[in-house]
C-alpha cells in the first residue's frame, strides 16, 4: 500500500505521541484525506510485532467498505458483525460493528484500538478506553468538536488541512450561492439546537423556491442537471422536496431510516452509476456517513443548524470529493449555515484542527438581516470571498466604506484578519503580475498594489513569484478599470 507523504508524516507523529505518553490520540483528517489507509497501516504494523488490533465502525456499510479495502491490500482479517460471512475471531485484525460490540457487551482483546468517527462518543468506547489505559487508542474524525472529547483523548494530530487537500487535487473546491433562506426566528429549540420538526415546518414553506433555485443554478453553471444531494430536516420534509422536484420533472429520491435497508442501498447504488436515472438523493443524516459518490456536483443545504458545526462540515465533505472532470462543487445554501458558521469553517479549512476545544459547538448569535445581505453578491447571490471585493462568479465589484472588516461583535484591521498564507499568495501573485507587465521597477509596483489591497506592507513575507490566484488577477483588473475611469473623468 502506497502512502501519501502527509499520511506517512502523520504515522510518525502518532508514534511520537505514544512515545510522549499519549495512549489515546485523535487523528484529524478531512474527507478524502485517507483516514482508512492510515488506520490499515497502523493495524498491519501492529501485527508485524505480534500484536492484535481492532477497528470499530458505527455503520454496517462502513464495516463492509473497510473489509473490502483490507482485502484489496491482501490483509488477513476478521469482521465482528452479526451474520457476517467473514467472521474469523482468530485473525489478528478485527473490523468491528459498534452495534454488535454493544450487544455483546465487550470488545475483543487488543493492543491497538482504532475508533472511527470518534466524535460520536459511544459510551462503551469511552468506558473501555478509560478502563484500559495500556491499550493504544487512535480516534479518527474530520470533526473533533464534540464536548467531552478531551476527557477521553489527550492529543490531536492534524494530518492535513482541507486547503492542502484541495490544492493537491484530493478534494474539489466549493462555490457557494446564498439562496432564499429558511426563516428560523422564534423556532423551537432543544439543547440549543433547532428541532428537526421546527426546521422541517419552516423549510416546507420555501420548497418551491429550493426547486426553482436548483433548476436555475444547475443550468446557469453546468448547462443542465447534475448529480445532487439534498440535506433536509426530517422524513416529511424530504418527501415534500422529492414530490416537488418530481412535479418539476426531475427524479429525486428521498431515503431515510424509515425505509428498508434494501431500498436505501438500491437507491444509492443506482445514484452511484455514471448514467444514473436519479438526479438527486434527499436525506436527513444517512448521507453524512459512509456515503462516497465522488461525481456528486451539487449540494443543497435545507436543514438549518444553530450550533452543529460538525454536521455542517460533514455535509460539505459529501460534495467536495474529487472526481475526474469535476472542476468544483456547487453549494446552494437555503439554511443560512454557511454564513452562520463561516468564521469557524474558514479557520478549519485553512489551519485544520490541532487541539480539542470545548467551545466550538455552541448556539451562535444569529447574523442580522444586514450582515446576511452583505455576505453575498447582490448581483448573482454568490458568497463573497472572505478577503476580496470581486465576485468570483460574475465579476461584480463591491464598494467598501473603509479598510476595516467588521465581524459580529468586534472589529479587526484587515491585517489581523487575513491569514499569512493568504497574504503570501497575494504578494507572490502581485510580484508575478509585475514581471509579466515588464514594469521598470516590478517590486515597487507590487508593493503599491499590496498596500492598496491590505493597507499594510508585506513585512515578513517571502519575495517569491507564484502563479496569481484568479481572485488576485480579477482584483488587479478591477483596479486598472477604476484607474482608467478616473483618467477619463480627469
Condensed to tens digits (0 to 9), the pLDDT of residues 151-165 reads 999 999 999 999 999
Residue 346 confidence class, pLDDT cut points 50, 70, 90: confident
Share of the chain above pLDDT 90, in %: 63
pLDDT at residue 250, rounded to an integer: 98
The residue-averaged pLDDT of 401-419 equals 38
Residue 104 confidence class, pLDDT cut points 50, 70, 90: very high
Going by C-alpha positions, the residue among 214, 288, 292, 207 that lies closest to residue 255 is 288
pTM above 0.85, yes or no: no
Reduced 3-state DSSP string for 323-387: CCCCCCEEEEECCCHHHHCHHHHHHHHHHCCCCCCCCCCCCCCCCCHHHHHCCECCCCCEECCCC
Contact 171, 319 (CB under 8 A): no
pLDDT at residue 12, rounded to an integer: 96
Indicate whether 105 and 219 sit together in one domain.
Answer: no
Is 166 among the domain residues?
Answer: no
Retrieve residue 467's grid coordinates. Answer: 502563479
Domain housing 416: 387-490
Report the length, in residues, of the chain.
Answer: 490
pLDDT at residue 22, rounded to an integer: 96
The residue-averaged pLDDT of 376-385 equals 76
Indicate whether 272 and 147 sit together in one domain.
Answer: no
Is 208 among the domain residues?
Answer: yes
Query: For the chain, how long is the longest CA-to-CA vector?
Result: 86
Is 64 among the domain residues?
Answer: yes
Condensed to tens digits (0 to 9), the pLDDT of residues 225-264 reads 999 999 999 999 999 999 999 999 999 999 998 899 899 9
The sign of the torsion formed by the CA atoms of 447, 449, 452, 453 equals: negative
pLDDT at residue 114, rounded to an integer: 98
Contact 465, 442 (CB under 8 A): no
pLDDT above 90 (res 438): no
Is 86 among the domain residues?
Answer: yes
Q: Which residue spans within 199-294 are E strands per DSSP?
A: 228-231, 252-254, 280-283
pLDDT at residue 243, rounded to an integer: 96
Indicate whether 188 and 332 sit together in one domain.
Answer: yes
The CATH code of the domain that includes 301 is: 3.40.50.300
The residue-averaged pLDDT of 187-205 equals 93
Indicate whether 209 and 268 sit together in one domain.
Answer: yes
pLDDT above 80 (res 387): no
Distance of alpha carbon 233 from alpha carbon 235, whole angstroms: 7
Indicate whether 461 and 482 sit together in one domain.
Answer: yes
Residue 179 confidence class, pLDDT cut points 50, 70, 90: confident
Indicate whether 267 and 367 sit together in one domain.
Answer: yes
Residue 411 confidence class, pLDDT cut points 50, 70, 90: very low
Is 381 among the domain residues?
Answer: no
Q: Count how many domains the chain has.
A: 3
Angstrom CA distances, 3 to 94, 335, 368, stand at 22, 38, 46
Retrieve residue 119's grid coordinates. Answer: 466524535
Condensed to tens digits (0 to 9), the pLDDT of residues 45-98 reads 999 999 999 999 998 888 999 999 999 999 999 999 989 999 999 999 999 999
Higher per-residue pLDDT: 70 or 395: 70
Distance of alpha carbon 151 from alpha carbon 163, whole angstroms: 29
Decide: helix, strand or coil at residue 78: strand
pLDDT at residue 245, rounded to an integer: 97
Indicate whether 132 and 64 sit together in one domain.
Answer: yes
Residue 488 confidence class, pLDDT cut points 50, 70, 90: low
Is 165 among the domain residues?
Answer: no
Decide: helix, strand or coil at residue 390: strand
Going by C-alpha positions, the residue among 213, 181, 211, 214 that lies closest to residue 199 is 181
Distance of alpha carbon 202 from alpha carbon 304, whole angstroms: 10
Helix or strand holding residue 317 (H, E): helix 309-319
Higher per-residue pLDDT: 54 or 451: 54
* Final residue before a domain boundary, out of 160, 190, 214: 160
pLDDT at residue 77, rounded to an integer: 97
Decide: helix, strand or coil at residue 261: helix
pLDDT at residue 6, rounded to an integer: 94
Indicate whether 156 and 179 sit together in one domain.
Answer: no
Decide: helix, strand or coil at residue 161: coil
Distance of alpha carbon 309 from alpha carbon 138, whole angstroms: 22
pLDDT at residue 376, rounded to an integer: 73
Going by C-alpha positions, the residue among 61, 14, 475 that lies closest to residue 255 is 61
Higher per-residue pLDDT: 247 or 416: 247
User: What is the average pLDDT value for the chain, to the nearest integer?
Assistant: 88
pLDDT at residue 453, rounded to an integer: 84
The per-residue DSSP string of 457-485 comes to --TT------PPPHHHHHHHHHHHHHHHH
pLDDT at residue 460, rounded to an integer: 75
pLDDT at residue 414, rounded to an integer: 30
The contacts of residue 347 (CB under 8 Å, 6+ apart) are: none
Contact 328, 174 (CB under 8 A): yes
The bridge status of strand 404-407 relative to strand 410-413 is: antiparallel
Bridge partner residues of 405 (DSSP): 412
Contact 144, 156 (CB under 8 A): yes
Give residue 72's region: left, alpha or beta (phi > 0; psi -120 to 50).
Answer: alpha
Decide: helix, strand or coil at residue 80: strand
Indicate whether 224 and 363 sit together in one domain.
Answer: yes
Going by C-alpha positions, the residue among 212, 279, 207, 274 that lies closest to residue 250 is 279
Higher per-residue pLDDT: 246 or 387: 246
Condensed to tens digits (0 to 9), the pLDDT of residues 19-47 reads 999 999 999 999 999 999 999 999 999 99
* Final residue before a domain boundary, out of 317, 346, 376: 376
pLDDT at residue 365, rounded to an integer: 65
Residue 14 confidence class, pLDDT cut points 50, 70, 90: very high
pLDDT at residue 482, rounded to an integer: 75
* Final residue before a domain boundary, out of 376, 397, 432: 376
Only one residue has cell 489515546, namely: 24
Is 232 among the domain residues?
Answer: yes
Indicate whether 197 and 106 sit together in one domain.
Answer: no
Distance of alpha carbon 262 from alpha carbon 260, whole angstroms: 5
Distance of alpha carbon 81 from alpha carbon 219, whole angstroms: 45
pLDDT above 80 (res 300): yes
pLDDT at residue 386, rounded to an integer: 56
pLDDT above 70 (res 454): yes
Is 483 among the domain residues?
Answer: yes
Indicate whether 151 and 179 sit together in one domain.
Answer: no
Indicate whether 148 and 22 sit together in one domain.
Answer: yes
pLDDT at residue 404, rounded to an integer: 32
pLDDT above 70 (res 407): no
pLDDT above 80 (res 116): yes
Share of the chain above pLDDT 70, in %: 90
pLDDT at residue 416, rounded to an integer: 38
Amino acid at each position: 500500500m502506497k502512502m501519501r507523504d502527509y499520511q506517512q508524516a502523520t504515522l510518525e507523529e502518532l508514534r511520537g505521541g505514544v512515545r510522549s505518553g499519549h495512549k489515546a490520540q485523535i487523528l484529524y483528517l478531512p474527507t478524502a484525506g485517507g483516514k482508512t489507509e492510515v488506520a490499515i497501516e497502523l493495524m498491519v504494523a501492529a501485527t508485524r510485532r505480534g500484536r492484535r488490533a481492532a477497528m470499530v465502525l458505527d455503520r454496517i456499510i462502513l464495516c463492509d467498505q473497510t473489509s473490502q479495502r483490507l482485502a484489496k491490500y491482501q490483509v488477513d482479517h476478521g469482521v465482528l458483525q452479526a451474520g457476517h460471512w467473514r467472521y474469523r475471531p482468530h485473525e489478528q485484525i478485527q473490523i468491528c460493528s459498534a452495534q454488535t460490540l454493544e450487544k455483546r457487551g465487550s470488545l475483543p482483546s487488543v493492543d491497538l484500538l482504532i475508533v472511527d468517527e470518534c466524535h460520536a462518543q459511544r459510551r462503551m468506547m469511552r468506558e473501555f478506553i478509560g478502563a484500559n489505559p495500556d491499550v493504544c487508542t487512535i480516534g479518527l474524525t474530520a470533526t473533533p468538536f464534540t464536548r467531552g472529547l478531551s476527557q477521553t483523548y489527550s492529543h490531536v494530530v492534524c494530518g492535513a488541512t482541507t486547503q492542502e487537500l484541495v490544492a493537491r487535487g484530493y478534494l474539489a473546491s466549493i462555490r457557494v450561492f446564498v439562496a432564499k433562506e429558511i426563516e428560523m426566528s422564534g423556532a423551537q429549540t432543544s439543547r440549543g439546537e433547532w428541532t428537526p420538526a421546527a426546521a422541517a415546518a419552516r423549510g416546507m414553506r420555501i420548497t418551491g423556491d429550493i426547486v426553482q433555485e436548483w433548476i436555475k443554478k444547475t443550468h446557469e453553471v453546468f448547462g443542465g442537471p447534475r448529480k445532487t444531494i439534498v440535506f433536509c430536516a426530517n422524513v416529511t420534509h424530504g418527501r415534500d422536496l422529492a414530490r416537488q422536484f418530481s412535479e418539476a420533472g426531475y427524479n429525486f429520491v428521498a431515503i431515510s431510516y424509515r425505509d428498508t435497508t434494501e431500498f436505501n442501498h438500491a437507491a444509492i447504488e443506482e445514484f452511484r452509476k455514471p448514467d444514473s436515472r436519479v438526479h438527486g438523493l434527499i436525506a436527513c443524516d444517512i448521507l453524512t456517513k459512509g456515503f462516497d459518490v465522488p461525481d456528486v456536483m451539487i449540494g443543497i443545504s435545507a436543514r438549518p443548524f444553530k450550533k452543529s458545526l460538525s454536521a455542517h462540515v460533514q455535509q460539505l465533505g459529501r460534495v467536495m470529493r474529487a472526481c475526474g472532470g469535476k472542476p468544483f462543487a456547487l453549494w446552494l445554501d437555503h439554511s443560512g449555515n454557511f454564513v452562520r458558521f463561516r468564521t469557524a469553517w474558514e479557520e478549519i479549512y485553512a489551519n485544520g484542527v490541532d487541539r480539542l476545544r470545548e467551545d466550538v459547538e455552541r448556539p451562535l448569535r444569529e447574523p442580522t438581516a444586514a450582515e446576511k445581505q452583505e455576505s453575498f453578491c447582490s448581483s448573482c447571490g454568490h458568497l463573497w470571498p472572505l478577503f476580496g471585493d470581486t465576485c468570483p462568479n460574475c465579476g461584480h465589484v463591491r464598494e467598501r466604506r473603509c479598510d476595516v472588516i467588521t465581524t459580529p461583535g468586534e472589529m479587526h484591521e484587515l491585517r489581523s484578519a487575513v491569514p499569512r498564507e493568504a497574504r503570501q499568495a497575494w504578494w507572490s501573485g502581485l510580484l508575478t503580475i509585475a514581471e509579466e507587465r515588464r514594469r521598470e521597477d516590478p517590486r515597487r509596483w507590487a508593493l503599491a498594489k499590496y498596500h492598496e489591497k491590505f493597507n499594510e506592507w508585506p513585512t515578513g513575507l517571502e519575495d517569491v513569484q507564484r502563479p496569481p490566484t484568479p481572485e488576485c488577477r480579477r482584483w488587479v483588473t478591477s483596479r486598472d478599470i477604476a484607474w482608467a475611469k478616473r483618467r477619463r473623468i480627469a
